[in-house]
Amino acid sequence: MSRKIERLINLTIALLATKRYLTKTEIFNSVDGYEGTAETKERMFERDKDDLRSLGIEIEVGSFDPLFNDEAGYKIKQEKYQFELGDISSTEVSLLSLAAEAWQEASFGDVAQRALVKLRSIGIPSDELSIPASVHKLNDGGQDLSLITKAIAHNQLLAFNYLDSHLGIKMRSVVPIALSTRNGFWYLSGVDQEIQEIRTFRVDRISGAIAASAGPKDFQTPAGFDPSTAFSESSTHDFALIDVRVGKASSLRALANSHLESRFSLLIASMAWPGCFCSRTS
Amino acid sequence: MVKKFSAPLERTARLLDLVPYISSHQGISLAELAKVFNVDQGQMTSDLTTLWMCGLPGYTPLELMDLNFESGFVTIHNAETLSKPRSITFDEGVALVLGLDLLRSAISPERGDLLERINLLSQRLAGLINLPSALSATSVVNQDVSGAITAALKSRMGLEISYHSLYRDELSTRSIFPIEIVKTDSHLYLSSYCHTASDFRQFRIDRIQTATVQAVQQEIPKSPIQQSSYTCTVKVLVKTDSHLYLSSYCHTASDFRQFRIDRIQTATVQAVQQEIPKSPIQQSSHTCTVKVLTPTREVAERFKQSELHVNTEFNCQTYSTQWIERSIMASGRAVCLQSPPDIRKSIAVMAQTMLDRYKAR
């Protein structure tokens, strides 16, 4: 096992250090560990390339002289290999560290930790205590967040079974356009392919595995879609006047408060008992 | 969840990431390095040994990386090719972008400077991984509340909080001395000494509605029971305000207690009843039988049940009759409480009162 690891590291170093493309022959001669028949070496090399790609290392293929039908050559571009965040200050490293720590024990916990190690490797000290925010953690979104975000980036089609409000399970086909977390739940918004309208799904109500496949070719995120407003309900609404026992229904009050603050206090002032306020219903 | 690499690939990635980390942390101890990379020291030594074998093609001594770790402290030289941290992966970028968005909602609008930096960082990261701006995270914690908690913990001050108890649907105002933030079952709790209750309490942070920093008595009052000897089952050791406390179930007091370790004069190990007796509150817990009339997702989620059908009956345990009453009422026609009879009765009274109220208009 460690032979293979050494070979992968040495291959990375060789392809990074070279200014020009290296041919396979040059690689087999200089990187230790390629042994056996030409065919075996070839197969090893193909597998190694795939392995490095799966680690996110991009290998460029090119040739010395495009005019001649030369043997293909390989190299890794330093600027693609390394973390290019530009000039970065200690405050920014602190912000990113806090961002990574928000995932503690949640879906991207391990990944965020790895990102943090890379950040720290830049060698800029951070001082998280200087940032006036610490009481925030992301909740676990289960196994699917990575798949959903990839599907958003590549306009893929997601098919999953979804639990409807009557406990029926129906297969939905959705091209996802947004992922958000609100009130401790993760939500996926997307264009439901059956009705061609935007719908929002709570991720923990998806039952079973999500299948991703290539999405419609001409897919475009609907114009005017703003992920941050996907959660405010429809724009048409009525007002309800509700009697509430003193000191009770705290979550309902919070809802009313946030929408109609002035009206809320006005009504409270005029009707001291029982507490009376306006709430929005849709 | 996130794609797991096979063991050799996982190790290759770690080795590649070790080089820039050591380069920027020359002389780091082996133990610390192992901790950063979340492996044991044996694995780290084996990783470094493998890395030590690697180098530029040609393998002349000049081109090998100069890695030293025999002393227990790690240094690396001659490793320029790999010395820059690797580019972030898609998942790593997503994790940071969402984390930053959460952080944005946690920072006071007065700190426009920080918010601006968060926006820029977020854009840069999204650009690196080709991510559309479609991810958002908002904190469940009120920003003023989190600010006050952070300030109180940092300056070792007390807090006056208004706290919403979900079970009783009541707001209470409490004077507390916060000790630490703990995460349990994906919720954040503020572990505190509550001067109002004269005991240790944990408050779910998203249920704290307001919080103001205030001076409180620093000294945690002695518990009312002043006996000189206790028999305890030790649960955990906690550090508070630079003192170590032994958090235990105290058989003498028949309740949970914390003891400051430097005040314990003698201690002997002895066999005690392992089973922690149910606290008085638990003894008054109610077992309710609920019958499903219309299976709905709302009912399934409210009572944390799966597999509901018409006429399914399930039991639930609660300490709060108010909670069960409200939950049954809120479920409307979908469920019916079968037992206990006294709660059925009080629901009937509530429903009748409601009906009367609607008839009156």
Band (A231; pLDDT cuts 50, 70, 90): low
| Single-letter residue type at A53 | R
Cα separation of A219 and A196, whole Å?
11
Which of A243, A13, A124, A107 has the alpha carbon at shortest distance from B53? A13
**B-interface mutation test, from A29, A117, A120, A170, most B Cβ less than 10 A away:** A117
Judged by CB atoms closer than 8 Å, whether chains meet at B81 and A129 is answered as no
Cα separation of A131 and B111, whole Å?
10
B216 touches chain A (CB under 8 A): no
Angstroms from B345 CA to nearest CA on chain A: 21
Judged by CB atoms closer than 8 Å, whether chains meet at A83 and B84 is answered as yes
**B-interface mutation test, from A124, A136, A182, most B Cβ less than 10 A away:** A136
Instruction: Name the CA dihedral angle for B272, B275, B281, B285, rounded to a multiple of 10 degrees.
Output: -160
Residue A270: per-residue pLDDT: 28
Judged by CB atoms closer than 8 Å, whether chains meet at B94 and A108 is answered as yes
Query: Is 90 exceeded by the pLDDT of residue B77?
Result: no
Angstroms from B312 CA to nearest CA on chain A: 13
| H or E element in which residue B123 lies | helix B112-129
Query: How does pLDDT run across A89-133, given as a tens digit for each residue?
Result: 888 899 999 898 888 778 888 888 889 899 888 888 887 777 776
Residues across chain A: 282
Query: Is 60 exceeded by the pLDDT of residue B120?
Result: yes
Chain A residues within 8 A of B105 when measuring between CB atoms? 136
Judged by CB atoms closer than 8 Å, whether chains meet at B86 and A57 is answered as yes
Chain B residues within 8 A of A80 when measuring between CB atoms? 87
Band (B255; pLDDT cuts 50, 70, 90): low
Which of A84, A133, A145 is facing B150, going by the closest CB pair? A133
Query: Is 70 exceeded by the pLDDT of residue A47?
Result: yes
B109 touches chain A (CB under 8 A): no
Of the listed ranges A25-29, B16-20, B288-292, the least confidently predicted one is: A25-29
Task: Quote the crossing angle between the two packed helices A109-121 and A90-101, to the nearest 10°.
Answer: 160
Which of B13, B96, B132 is facing A99, going by the closest CB pair? B96
| pLDDT averaged over every residue in chain B | 81
Judged by CB atoms closer than 8 Å, whether chains meet at B94 and A250 is answered as no
A48 touches chain B (CB under 8 A): no
Do B244 and B262 form a contact (C-beta atoms < 8 A)? Answer: yes
Query: How does pLDDT run across A121-157, given as a tens digit for each residue?
Result: 888 888 777 777 666 778 777 778 888 988 988 889 9
A76 touches chain B (CB under 8 A): no
Window 190-219 of A: residues touching B by CB (8 A cutoff) are: 205
| Single-letter residue type at B263 | R
Chain B residues within 8 A of A177 when measuring between CB atoms? 132, 134
Window 132-171 of A: residues touching B by CB (8 A cutoff) are: 132-140, 142-146, 149-150, 152-153, 163-167
Angstroms from B232 CA to nearest CA on chain A: 31
Do A177 and A189 form a contact (C-beta atoms < 8 A)? Answer: yes
Band (A159; pLDDT cuts 50, 70, 90): very high
Angstroms from A169 CA to nearest CA on chain B: 11
**B-interface mutation test, from A25, A26, A54, A95, most B Cβ less than 10 A away:** A95
| pLDDT averaged over every residue in chain A | 78
Mean pLDDT, rounded, for B42-68:
76
Residue B234: per-residue pLDDT: 59
Query: Is 90 exceeded by the pLDDT of residue A48?
Result: yes
Interface contacts A/B by beta carbons within 8 Å:
295
Query: Is 90 exceeded by the pLDDT of residue A160?
Result: yes
A31 touches chain B (CB under 8 A): yes
**A-interface mutation test, from B53, B90, B136, B171, most A Cβ less than 10 A away:** B136
Band (A273; pLDDT cuts 50, 70, 90): very low
Residue A176: C-alpha distances to residues A159, A188, B122 (Å)? 10, 7, 20
Judged by CB atoms closer than 8 Å, whether chains meet at A163 and B81 is answered as no
Of the listed ranges B90-104, B166-180, B194-208, B257-271, the least confidently predicted one is: B257-271
Which of B66, B118, B71, B76 has the alpha carbon at shortest distance from B97? B118
Window 259-278 of A: residues touching B by CB (8 A cutoff) are: none
Of the listed ranges A193-197, B69-73, B255-259, B308-312, the least confidently predicted one is: B255-259
Judged by CB atoms closer than 8 Å, whether chains meet at B85 and A119 is answered as yes
Helix ranges (H only) for B4-83 are 7-24, 30-36, 41-53
Of the listed ranges A110-114, A135-139, A242-246, B292-296, the least confidently predicted one is: A242-246
Which tops the pLDDT comparison, B227 or A157? A157
Residue B253: per-residue pLDDT: 67
Which of B121, B124, B139 is facing A136, going by the closest CB pair? B139
Band (A275; pLDDT cuts 50, 70, 90): very low
Residues 6+ apart with CB under 8 A from A193: A157, A173, A174, A175, A216
Cα separation of A91 and A128, whole Å?
8
Mean pLDDT, rounded, for A244-263:
58
Beta bridge partners of B292: B335
> Of all residues in chain A, what percent carry a pLDDT higher than 90?
15
Q: DSSP letters of chain A? A: -HHHHHHHHHHHHHHHH-SSPEEHHHHHHHSTT--SSHHHHHHHHHHHHHHHHHTT---EEE-S-TTTTPPPEEE--HHHHB----S--HHHHHHHHHHHHTTTTSTTHHHHHHHHHHHHHT-----GGGSS-----PPP-TT-HHHHHHHHHTT-EEEEEEE-TTS-EEEEEEEEEEEEEETTEEEEEEEETTTTEEEEEEGGGEEEEEEEE---TT--PPTT--GGGTTS--S--EEEEEE--TT--HHHHHHHHHH-HHHHHHHHHH--SS-EEEEEE-
Residue B290: per-residue pLDDT: 92
Residue B307: per-residue pLDDT: 82
B85 touches chain A (CB under 8 A): yes
A128 touches chain B (CB under 8 A): no
Which tops the pLDDT comparison, A161 or B236? A161
Band (B289; pLDDT cuts 50, 70, 90): very high
